[in-house]
Structure 1
């Protein structure tokens, strides 16, 4: 595989397989665990390999599947593997499968540099037409950013990454979106706006709060990156997201709770839902890195370490009792159902106390 660090050599080998067509678009690439086994390296090295391939745009994370070869990898294969023997004056040689650096992307033997650089899929396909940037707008930028975050995770999102998908220079995005923080705010508002809470009042406060919490849960599941962007101490100005809080407070109107209690109950319920939903992205990343689903990981843990670690009934009497009893569903959905019911029970107890004049 040549010289360089272990991660560089493995990356070069997987890049070669992708470019050669041995790994076709949509095909799952070796997981971190498979890389560790095949090349005898540590997990940190294997993780660095997959990160480098993602940065190069050769692979992408597919929720529920793992890391797969990106569709645009075929474009990289079209780039010559070696420079021309006698490049013309002013031309930069191309080495490897492709050379992409900073704002410059190389296609064929010619180097295009500066703000007019074409990167990613647009560079190879030549799809960046004269009207490319003229067609650029905030809505299109946000839609692409959401797609990147949905498929590759929040860590893969950057202004440069979005520009690559759009086939435009990175700086052109800043005419529409000031920066990544504003981009995240717009993304948040977009995904909440696509699934607004119902306008009609629910028959009772519990039905209303239950429906809004479940709607938020579905939104977080559809966009695993979303929960990590939420803040309940420094909320962003996102009207479509704030509408959920508005409707939650409205559901509690007339229950006898004070305005402060209604607001705190609404935000606490939203924070519970969001806090649990954070694990959607963590699980997707863990599955991508390990190549194992949560169930597969638990099975492996049971086989290797669980019995040994929890074998002492004196130190872990409750775990010992759990192990001897029927299997318990500890999935995120099951935890959400249990927690939501208990949260609503608590609100109900507070409402009852206010009705009797106690508390």
Structure 2
């Protein structure tokens, strides 16, 4: 069986640590850099770093990045406590993000985070009030990893593209984000509200009323979240079945063939024959949908 891309990336970094090309305290390539170097999705690169963190090969240091862990007697040494509540809270948040990236949000528990950091479970509550507070901090940190530009580009179209693509990159790197909030109960995240502010500033001066502006913002956000939700659903399905999406689809061939041969779905059967070997690429689907969505917005905004 082929080695998964994330495992190949993690293996390469471990070899570089073992042969001294990367020394304790050295920064390892960022998620973005790994994605570019290996030609993989941001989520794949993030998973590689999460696996390395679980194994104690690397640690995430606030305001520094991910670095090679100090090693002692053949094993990664526990990180010392960073003085100050803010520094410790940042470590807790980053450990929670690494855990969610690797295992999914349900596995993010205070006990699991404490074990990862070498802290007592109850001591975490001195820095994070509750699990809900922690999730909010995780979202803000994940969004801030893909910051909006200092200057908003001219025109609403470019501004909408910018916010959508940055949010998509965040969902790509952290698939668990898609399932933590709903339109009826929006998360009070300062990081996400920055994107709302960005959109509203881009629409300032248009003839649209406040309700229409909010509806456009919600539709744009829903496009990102809706496609992003499939990243986490696929991760869960793969973990539960041990099958890739291609392997699972292959197992449905007989059923799909029976449906097609029943004669009750001629349009569907014709479509499948024309498609042939269809490759569902979420990045392409995201871009296709974004373009069509903005085309529709343009008819309203003018």
TM over 0.5: yes
* 2:132 paired residue among 147, 164, 181: 181
Within the candidate set 268, 274, 277, 1:319 is matched to 268
Counterpart CA distance in 2 for 1:192 and 1:126 is 29
Per-residue deviation at 1:289?
2.5
Match among 117, 126, 133 for residue 166 of structure 1: 117
The Cα of 1:134 is off from its aligned counterpart by 6.0
Check whether the contact 2:259–2:265 (CA below 8 A) recurs between aligned residues.
no
Q: Which residue of 2 aligns with 1:306?
A: 256
2:245 maps to which residue? 294
* Superposition TM-score, scaled by structure 1 size: 0.59
Distance between the aligned counterparts of 2:224 and 2:77, measured in 1?
A: 42
Q: Which runs of 5+ in 2 are unaligned?
A: 1-9, 12-45, 57-74
Identify the residue that residue 197 of structure 2 maps to in structure 1: 246
**2:280 counterpart of 1:330:** yes
Pairing 1:268–2:219 present:
yes
Alpha-carbon distance, 1:168 to partner: 1.3
| TM-score in terms of structure 2 length | 0.70
Deviates more, 1:160-169 or 1:192-201: 192-201
Moved more, 217-226 or 267-276: 267-276
**2:55 is matched with which residue?**
71
Name the CA distance, whole Å, in 2 between partners of 1:339 and 1:211: 15
Deviation at 1:202, TM superposition (A): 1.9
* 8 Å Cα contact 2:178/2:226 also seen in 1: yes
Structure 1 residues 66-121: Cα deviation after superposition (integer angstroms, max 9, x where no partner): x99x637xxxxxxxxxxxxxxxxxxxxxxxxxxxxxxxxxxxxxxxxxxxxxxxxx
Q: How many residues align?
A: 237
Q: CA deviation at 1:273?
A: 1.0
Alignment correspondent of 2:143: 192
| CA distance in 2 between partners of 1:192 and 1:278 (Å) | 16
**Aligned-partner Cα distance in 2 for 1:199–1:233:** 30
- Counterpart CA distance in 2 for 1:260 and 1:348 is 17
Q: Could you tell me whether the CA contact under 8 Å between 1:153 and 1:225 is conserved in 2?
A: yes
- How far did 1:301 drift? 2.4
Q: Cα gap change, 1:126/1:244 in structure 2, threshold over 3 Å: closer, same or farther?
A: closer
Give the drift of 1:298. Answer: 2.2
Q: Does 1:339 find its partner at 2:274?
A: no
1:153 matched to 2:104: yes
Q: 1:277 aligns with which of 228, 252, 268?
A: 228
Contact 1:163 1:169 in 2 (8 A): yes
The structure that is helix-richer by fraction is 2
Contact 1:133/1:168 (<8 A) preserved: no
Structure index of larger Rg: 1
Q: CA 1:168–1:141 in structure 2 vs 1: closer, same or farther (change >3 Å)? A: same
Deviation of the 1:63 alpha carbon: 5.0
Shift in alpha-carbon separation, 1:167–1:133, aligned structure 2, 3 A: farther
Counterpart of 2:34 in structure 1 is none
- 1:169-207 CA deviation, whole Å, 9 max, x = no partner? 110001111110000000001111121222322232112
CA offset at residue 270 of structure 1?
Answer: 0.5
Aligned equivalents of 2:94 and 2:184: distance in 1?
27
> Is the 1:202–1:208 contact (alpha carbons within 8 Å) kept by the matching residues of 2?
yes
**Partner Cα separation in structure 2 for residue 237 and residue 323 of structure 1:** 43
Partners of 1:204 and 1:251 within 8 A in 2: yes
The 8 Å contact of residues 128 and 168 in structure 1, kept in 2 or not, is answered as: no
